[in-house]
Amino acid sequence: MDHPPDDLELEGIELDLFVEAMRRRHGYDFGQYAPASLLRRVRQLAQHHGDGAISALTHRLLHEPALLPQLLEGLSVPASDMFRDPSVFRALREQVLPRLASWPQLTIWQAGCAHGEEVYSLAILLEEAGLYERSQIFATDLSTHALERAREGIYPLRSAQQWSRNYLAAGGRRSLADYYSARYGLLKLDGRLRRHVTFAQHNLVADAVFCEAQLVLGRNVLIYFANPLQQRSLALFRDSLVRGGFLCLGLRERPGPVEADFAPVDAGLRIYRRIGPVASERRP
């Protein structure tokens, strides 16, 4: 550098060192995350766990392994809402589930499930369509803390009003209150909704295909990734799907490099159907 670095440049170096320390100390590679949103999150963690200096956070990352789950939670998919983007859940209910009904067993992968809001939404859809008994949902996230929260299914009660509106806008014909109990300002979802859900850690950076699914949901996960990791994740989604299986992305995400392997079901809502030869059929 031909001039002394200013504080932004120094922070850039600190971020690189944090990413390097995370990779070498704990094996998690955030080097392919979108830098702008990663920097925001690391800054917030540095504020929360110290004086705001990323280098101080890196020191703790290296020497306090117990801190890792909290850091991973702060760096992974943020909380969502039940039936977020109700039009998407309405389309799943009206256009996707009736077609899924032709399979005797349903495997569903929800990638980046965070605190599980959309997992339970999906379970409710399947329950109401009479498909849940033959369904198995794999809900995965990078963060084990997030997965614990998701497994609990407990949320602030103040969310209930918006979520109830979302449920109805998504075509729900009952009341969302049928699925939860409220107490002490908290909303606890009916544990029965969890009976066919497996919560498991999965890292889109490093892990491979682990199931053959009829439906894959990866909503608002790709936006945090730079292009190569987006492409890897999309290929994973594609290769996890059986022929005729469905893919649902976030409303502002695009299938890009795997677009040719899919036919749009509702392109505006980012719902696609797998076409052409699929990975499982190519295997010897």
Tell me which residues touch another protein (CB under 8 A): 8, 34-37, 40-41, 77-80, 85, 87, 220, 223-224, 227, 230, 250-254
Q: Token digits for 33? A: 């995350």
Beta strands in 11-170 (DSSP E): 106-111, 135-141, 154-156
- The answer to whether 52 touches 122, Cβ cutoff 8 Å, is no
Q: CB of residue 19 vs another protein: minimum separation in angstroms?
A: 15
- At CB < 8 A and 24+ separation, what contacts does 25-29 make? 25/61, 25/62, 26/61, 26/65, 26/68, 27/206, 28/72, 28/142, 28/203, 28/205, 29/205, 29/206
152: nearest Cα among 139, 164, 161, 162 = 139
Q: How far is the CB of 197 from another protein (least distance, A)?
A: 22
Angle at 212 between CA 207 and CA 217, to 5 degrees: 70
SS3 81: coil
Contact criterion met (CB below 8 Å) for 217 and 100: no
Looking at the Cβ atoms of 58 and 220, the one nearer to another protein is 220
Task: Please tell me the distance from the alpha carbon of residue 154 to that of residue 150, in angstroms, as a whole number.
Answer: 8
**Minimal distance, residue 169 CB to another protein, in Å:** 10
| Closer Cβ to another protein, 93 or 115, answer by number | 115
| Of 35 and 50, CB closest to another protein | 35
Could you give phi then psi for residue 45, rounded to 5 degrees?
A: -65, -40
Distance in Å, CB of 78 to another protein, minimum: 5
Shortest distance, CB of residue 37 to another protein, whole angstroms?
A: 4
Q: Which is nearer to another protein, 172 or 245 (CB)?
A: 172
CB of 44 to another protein, least distance (A): 9
Q: Which is nearer to another protein, 36 or 208 (CB)?
A: 36
CB of residue 117 to another protein, shortest distance in Å? 12
Residue 230: exposed, middle, or buried by beta-carbon count in 10 A (0-12, 13-18, 19+)?
buried
> How far is it, in rounded angstroms, from Cα 23 to Cα 98?
43
Which CB sits closer to another protein, 100 or 229?
A: 229
Nearer to another protein by Cβ, of 143 and 214: the residue is 143
